[in-house]
Amino acid sequence: MTQKPLTSGIYFLDIEIGKRLDEQNGLDLGEIIKKQDPKAQLIFVTSHQDMAFLTFQRRLGASNFIVKNGNANDLRRNVTYSLEQAVDAIAKYRYIQKNTFSYRFGHDVRNMSMGDVVYVETTPVPHKLRLVKTTGWAEFIGKLKELPQKYPALVQVSESCVINPANVKEVDLKEKKLTFITGDIRYFSTRNSRKVRQLFQER
């Protein structure tokens, strides 16, 4: 994991309580995984049913707990069910992540629907960006070029502007002009003309 960090992985961990309390076990490994992959789906496996409470005691957020009872069919059924639950949880998280735009406002992190993002542009103040929303605007600290990498729904059209194509009302390719649903107008650079043309031809 240290060489190739994962996100939203699914991990089966055997608790394997040793003879000594200070021996490393599956719970310790679970803590290490959660530090590197906070959205990890941890599925603990053990022969000791009374060990289940330890996962809650350590606040590991286990997605499931499988008790080995010696029955292969039961184990197979529980593994399948646990995998289905974990995959569903990851899918929901990724959907929310894909459709949510987050920015820091003071000490708070604000989350909003990606559909409400109109565009983001630079300001005269270094590293301060202006977020224009369907309901107003806000300013936050960030780097414009990093936004399309973090949010694939956004597209950079100039050195100073990143847009949400879904909220563009009109495109004037000749004047290199974009009119948004808010009535605002911004211009895209010559270098990005082909990108913009292809982007809106697909719509």
Q: What is the pLDDT along the chain (203 residues), one digit of tens a residue?
A: 555 566 778 988 887 655 555 566 778 888 888 888 888 898 888 887 766 666 666 666 677 888 888 788 988 998 999 999 888 888 887 777 778 999 988 888 999 999 999 999 999 999 999 999 999 999 999 999 999 999 999 999 999 999 999 999 999 999 999 999 999 999 999 999 999 999 988 55
Q: How much is the pLDDT for 3?
A: 56
- Radius of gyration for the alpha carbons in the chain, expressed in angstroms and rounded: 24
> Which residues neighbour 145 within 8 Å (Cβ) at sequence distance 6 or greater?
156
What lies within 8 Å, CB to CB, of 27 at 6+ separation is 13, 15, 44, 54, 55, 58, 60
* Residue 33: CB atoms within 10 Å: 20
Predicted pLDDT at 53: 66
Look at residue 99 in the predicted model and tell me its pLDDT. Answer: 86
CA neighbor of 87 nearest in space, from 8, 33, 147? 8
| In the chain, ranges of CATH 3.40.50.2300 domains | 10-98
Is 3.40.50.300 the CATH number for 10-98? no
Burial pattern 49-75, b for ≥16 Cβ within 10 A else e, equals eebbebbeeeebebbbbbbeeeeeeee
Domain span(s) for CATH 2.40.50.1020 in the chain: 105-201
Q: What is the DSSP letter of 104?
A: E
Q: The pTM is what?
A: 0.61
pLDDT at 65: 82
3-state secondary structure of 36: helix
How far the first Cα of the chain sits from its last, in Å, is 40
| Beta carbons of 151 and 160 less than 8 angstroms apart | no
Q: What is the pLDDT of residue 194?
A: 93
DSSP class of residue 183? S
What is the third-level CATH fold of 105-201?
OB fold (Dihydrolipoamide Acetyltransferase, E2P) (2.40.50)
Is the Cβ–Cβ distance between 155 and 144 less than 8 Å?
Answer: no
